[in-house]
């Protein structure tokens, strides 16, 4: 795997934003640009200077909109940094071509992208610091209860946000399936929502967004690595699901100066 850090030029004054700040407001555009780092061989050979319009079929090559595994797919997360700066962390199965992706949009970056190999191995009972920005949801069933404590009558099968008082419970359930447990008292839970508009008109989407920071314990190394590859929860095209870990005495990638 590869781990990339993209420092975005957001400018120092929110009242006079740089193009990077405006770009980050549209997660459809962010995901589209990141996909461009994984062009098909035909696209690169046929359009070396990125002059043709974006075509989703040219930027798949088995790596976009597929089930994530050792040899395909990527996850990303938008992280704040000290001083109002912003970094995008990207975990990918193959080496990204950021020069190609930002060939006609270098003004979005505040520094050259940093890329390093990432091939982690884990041990049972290993303690790690973690960060996860997730989209906690649950699917309604005929056993789901409404706010009044009564079984719901409508919306069975619909995916809805997890209530605020159950956000830690949601992570605990996902952790068990992904080969780790969490030290509940160490976890900082920061809930919120993000709004996504694909077009300038229309209501768009309102998605639950929760950042978890804390300490986890690896319970099943193989499942844990697989969980990191596939991501945690839903909404991965909107920057959710990337689980970052580091030894307890070191910084996470997004925290580095």
* Tens digits of residue pLDDT in 226-239: 999 999 998 998 99
Computed from CA positions of residues 48, 51, 53, 54, in that sequence, does the dihedral angle turn out positive or negative? Answer: positive
**Gap between the Cα atoms of 41 and 71, Å rounded:** 16
Q: What is the pLDDT of residue 52?
A: 76
Break the chain into its structural domains and give their ranges. Answer: 2-117, 127-255
* Predicted TM-score of the model (pTM): 0.84
- SS3 label, residue 82: helix
Q: Does domain 127-255 have CATH number 2.120.10.30?
A: no
Phi, psi of 223 (to 5 degrees): -70, -35
CA distances from 231 to 51, 76, 108 (A): 33, 10, 26
CA distances from 250 to 3, 130, 131, 253 (A): 16, 11, 13, 9
In terms of phi and psi (left: phi > 0; alpha: psi -120 to 50; beta: otherwise), the region of 117 is beta
Q: What is the pLDDT of residue 60?
A: 63
Question: Per DSSP, what are the bridge partners of residue 218?
Answer: 180
Q: What is the pLDDT of residue 110?
A: 92
Q: What is the pLDDT of residue 194?
A: 86
Q: What is the pLDDT of residue 99?
A: 93
Q: What is the pLDDT of residue 184?
A: 84
Question: Per DSSP, what are the bridge partners of residue 78?
Answer: 88
Structure tokens, 215: 């300490």
DSSP 166-227: GHHHHHHHHHHHTTEEE-GGG-EEEEEEEEE-SSSSS--EEEEEEEEEEEEEES-HHHHHHH
Q: Among 27, 151, 5, 187, which Cα is nearest to 87's?
A: 5
Q: What is the pLDDT of residue 148?
A: 47
Q: What is the pLDDT of residue 72?
A: 73
Question: Per DSSP, what are the bridge partners of residue 217?
Answer: 127, 181
**Gap between the Cα atoms of 140 and 143, Å rounded:** 8
Q: Indicate the helix (H) or strand (E) that contains 8.
A: strand 2-8
Structure tokens, 257: 């100066």
Residue 96 CB neighbour total at 10 angstroms: 23
Residue spans of the chain under pLDDT 70: 13-14, 17, 60-71, 141-157, 198-204, 249-257
Long-range contacts of 166-174 (CB under 8 A, 24+ apart): 167/136, 167/191, 167/210, 170/136, 170/138, 171/132, 171/134, 171/136, 171/212, 174/134, 174/232, 174/233
For 90, which DSSP code?
E
């Amino acid at each position: 795997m590869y781990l990339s850090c993209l420092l975005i030029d957001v400018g120092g004054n929110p009242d006079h934003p740089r193009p990077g700040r405006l770009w980050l407001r549209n997660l459809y555009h962010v995901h589209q640009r990141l996909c461009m780092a994984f062009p098909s061989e035909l696209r690169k050979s046929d359009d070396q200077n990125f002059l043709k319009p974006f075509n989703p079929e040219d930027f798949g090559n088995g790596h976009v909109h597929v089930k994530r595994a050792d040899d395909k797919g990527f996850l990303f997360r938008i992280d704040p940094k000290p001083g109002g700066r912003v970094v995008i962390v990207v975990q990918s199965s193959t080496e990204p071509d950021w020069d190609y992706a930002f060939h006609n949009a270098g003004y979005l970056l505040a520094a050259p992208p940093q890329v390093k190999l990432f091939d982690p191995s884990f041990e049972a009972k290993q303690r790690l610091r973690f960060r996860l920005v997730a989209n906690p949801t649950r699917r309604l069933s005929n056993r789901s209860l409404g706010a009044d404590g009564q079984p719901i009558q409508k919306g069975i099968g619909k995916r809805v946000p997890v209530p605020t008082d159950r956000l830690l419970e949601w992570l605990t359930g996902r952790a068990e399936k992904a080969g780790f447990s969490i030290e509940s008292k160490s976890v900082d839970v920061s809930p919120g929502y993000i709004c996504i508009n694909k077009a300038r008109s229309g209501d768009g989407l309102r998605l639950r967004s929760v950042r978890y920071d804390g300490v986890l314990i690896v319970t099943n190394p193989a499942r844990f690595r697989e969980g990191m590859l596939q991501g945690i929860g839903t909404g991965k095209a909107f920057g959710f699901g990337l689980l970052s870990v580091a030894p307890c005495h070191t910084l996470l990638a997004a925290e580095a100066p």
